[in-house]
Amino acid sequence: MSAQGETRRAPLDRARVLAAAVAAADRSGLDALSMRSLAAELGVVPMALYKHVADKDDLVGGMVDTVIAGYDPADAVGGPAEVRARIRSARAGLLAHPWLRTAIESRTRRTPAVLAHMDAVAGAFLRGGYSADLTHHAMHALGHRIWGFSPEAFEEPPAEPPSPAEREAMLRTMAERFPHITAIAMDTAARTPSGTCEPEGEFDFTLDLLLDAFERLHAAGWTSSA
């Protein structure tokens, strides 16, 4: 009564575990992802996961790896255009998986897909004729942006709007104690349609700014020894 009784669950493997973890994190965030909850979701006891994953760190590393491995393979045209394409692909991944930023930030091991993405971006610069020296510096300058990051520290979660009176008071003290950022915020509020920051616009702006700067250095025959 083994093969026919209750339909026997196909045995787990690493890929299934990682896929389930990604799905769970997509639904409820990385904090809510525990070995126990993941195991429950897979209809398995927590310790069973450890047959497929060394520990939780390995699990998260694997999740990051699988997502990154799914990035679009861009045409190897070389130069800024290819870099842009690859980075935009990374950014799409980041937007699709809100937990990915935190997960990447905590990574310390370079898994194959991570190395592959870095290699692809570096390759784009090199194929575009950039020197190894300049490419190296460009990669550092792009920094986390090669993973599609935009800076999100100190982003306040959406709060329920305060009463008009409170809002007025807060605005006044802000203007008094932090006049410059208040001025900037007022400026954007007045000038842009949405009235707030537009992350995608800012991301593209910065990416273009950097790629332009690289192009200029490349054209000038820049070397780091200068």
Partner DNA sequence: GAGGCTAGGCGTACGGTGTACACCTGTCAA
Partner DNA sequence: TTGACAGGTGTACACCGTACGCCTAGCCTC
d(CA 71, CA 64): 11
Look at the block and give the residue holding tokens 């898994």: 111
Q: Which does 105 bind (CB under 5 to 8 A by kind): DNA, a copy of itself, none?
A: a copy of itself
Residue 170 binds: one of DNA, a copy of itself, none (C-beta under 5 to 8 A by kind): none
Residues 103-132 that bind a copy of itself (CB under 8 A): 104-110, 112, 114-116, 118-120, 122-123, 126, 132
Residues making contact with DNA (CB under 7 A) = 2-3, 9, 11-13, 33-37, 44-48, 50-52, 55-57
CA-wise closest residue to 93 among 70, 59, 110, 65? 70
- 99 membership: H or E segment, kind and range: none
* Separation CA 104–CA 128 (nearest Å): 28
CB of 21 to DNA, least distance (A): 11
Does position 21 interact with a copy of itself (CB under 8 A)? The reply is no
The residue (of 10 and 165) whose beta carbon lies closer to DNA is 10
Residues near 26 by beta carbon (within 8 Å), at least 6 away in sequence? 96, 97, 98, 99
178 binds a copy of itself, rule: CB under 8 A:
yes
